[in-house]
Amino acid sequence: MSFKRKDLLGLASLSPEEMALILEAAEPFKEVSGREIKKVPALRGKTVVNLFFEPSTRTRTSFELAAKRLSADVVNFSPSSSSVVKGETLLDTARNIEFMQADILVLRHSSAGAAEILAKNSRLSVINAGDGWHEHPTQALSDLLTIKEKKGQVRDLRVAIVGDLAHSRVARSNIHALTKMGANVRAVGPPTMIPLSLQRLGVEVFHDFDKAIAGVDVVITLRLQLERQGRSLFPSIREYARLYGLTAERVQRAAQDVLVMHPGPVNRGVEIAHDVVDSGSAVILDQVANGVAVRMGLMYLLAQRN
């Protein structure tokens, strides 16, 4: 089986086989990233454009490293530093990039569906690097790879996703990835942070973290957008940390070899207690390393498309 898609827009529409294919493709690139010369010529002559309408140093850097290690030429476009001004539509911007003969467009945008709209109207291969609250597929694939490496398999694992699921693209992509791979997913957060009908995505909803964490194999904590405090989603950071922070005591309630994950950057002492971040359970840095490998594998697959 080979990867036939032009774009990667989200995991909701991907089959488990397609996800497995991307993970398989990522595998050899971990070895490449461990070399002295961290570069292979697979994408020599290809152009990758990082079009980021929202600032995100981490994700952009990860894509940039991935493309460069494949020998692609990388251009970073961001609204503040380019000709993208108010008035030019997203599609016009994309069309310009297309006619500069770019091959892969990596898009980060604050609007859900931006990547899909762009992919439909362009010949470019589009990789969704996060669209609004919708999806962030490469992050979830890195998480999947990390879990697979540490646990051997994903099927039947108990995974808790904790935090503001309503406003999280990482949560949505992870829910799709994990449920499709056969994990049992628990969504944990105050009702203000759990979107309506979330159960329809195949997860079990909990508001009590102490109950939800019992026996879980993996805890994915989501980043708390501290500025949301004013929007009545939670009364105070203190109360949030008390009810939904991953403390050492809570870790005790999980399975013995529980994995603690976070898409970064971590608010230490809020989502995860300081000592848990630095404990052996945390695989946050593995997620980062796997992020580069997954993005390399994905770009390699997309570039093969004729």
Partner 1 sequence: MEPMPPKHHQESVIMDSHEMTRALTRIAHEILERNKGCRDVGLVGIRTGGVYLAQRLKRLIAQIEQTEVVLGELDITLYRDDLSIRKDQPVLKKTDIPFHISDIRIILVDDVLFTGRTIRAAMDGLTDLGRPAEIQLAVLIDRGHRQLPIRANYVGKNIPTAKDENIRVLLEELGEEDRVAKLINVGTAA
Partner 2 sequence: MANDIKILIAGGQVVDPGQWNGIADVLIEEGKISAVEPDLQQKLQGVKALTTIDATGLIVCPGFVDLHVHFREPGFEHKETIATGSAAAVAGGFTSVCCMPNTQPVNDSRSVTEFILAQAAAAGKARVFPIGAITKGSKGEELAEIGELFDAGCVAVSDDGVPVMNSLVMRRAMEYASAFHLPVIDHCEDSQLSRGGSMHEGAVSTELGIPGIPKAAEEVMVARNISLAELTGARLHLPHVSTVGSVRMVREAKARGVPVTAEACPHHFSLTDEAVRSYDSNAKMNPPLRTDEDVQAIKEGLRDHTIDIVATDHAPHAVQEKLLEFDAAPFGIIGLETAFPLTLNLVEEGLLTLEQAIAKLTREPARVFDLSHGTLAPGVAADVTLIDPAATWVVDPARLHSLSRNTPFAGWTMKGRVVKTLVAGEVVYDRESVIKEQR
Q: Which stretch binds partner 1 (CB under 8 A): 31-39, 92-100, 124-132, 140-148?
A: 31-39
Q: Which stretch binds partner 1 (CB under 8 A): 146-154, 196-204, 245-253, 295-303?
A: 295-303
Partner that binds at residue 283, options partner 1, partner 2, none, CB closer than 5 to 8 Å by kind: none
Task: Please report whether residue 114 would count as binding partner 2 according to CB under 8 A.
Answer: yes
| Measured distance between the N- and C-terminal CA atoms of the chain, rounded to whole angstroms | 16
Strands of the sheet with 125-131, listed across from one edge: 73-77, 47-52, 104-109, 125-131
Q: Which stretch binds partner 2 (CB under 8 A): 20-28, 70-78, 96-104, 189-197?
A: 189-197
Task: Please report whether residue 222 would count as binding partner 2 according to CB under 8 A.
Answer: no
DSSP for 197-258? TGGGGT-EEES-HHHHTTT-SEEEEPPP-GGGGGGTS-S-HHHHHHHH-B-HHHHHHS-TT-
Binding mask 68-87 for partner 1 (x = CB under 8 A): --x-----------------
Contact between 177 and 143 under an 8 Å Cβ cutoff? The reply is yes
Task: Please report whether residue 13 would count as binding partner 1 according to CB under 8 A.
Answer: no
Of the candidates 289, 17, 52, the residue with the CA atom closest to the CA atom of residue 180: 17
State which of residues 13, 17, 35, 226 lies at the interface with partner 1 (CB under 8 A): 35
State which of residues 135, 143, 164, 271 lies at the interface with partner 2 (CB under 8 A): 135
State which of residues 9, 19, 23, 25 lies at the interface with partner 1 (CB under 8 A): 25
Q: Which stretch binds partner 2 (CB under 8 A): 19-27, 62-70, 87-95, 217-225?
A: 87-95
Task: Please report whether residue 304 would count as binding partner 1 according to CB under 8 A.
Answer: yes
Enumerate residues 6+ apart whose C-beta is below 8 A from 138: 8, 59, 63, 127, 128, 129, 291, 294, 295, 298
Residues at the interface with partner 1 (CB under 8 A):
2-3, 24-25, 27-28, 31-32, 35-37, 39-42, 70, 297, 300-301, 303-304, 306
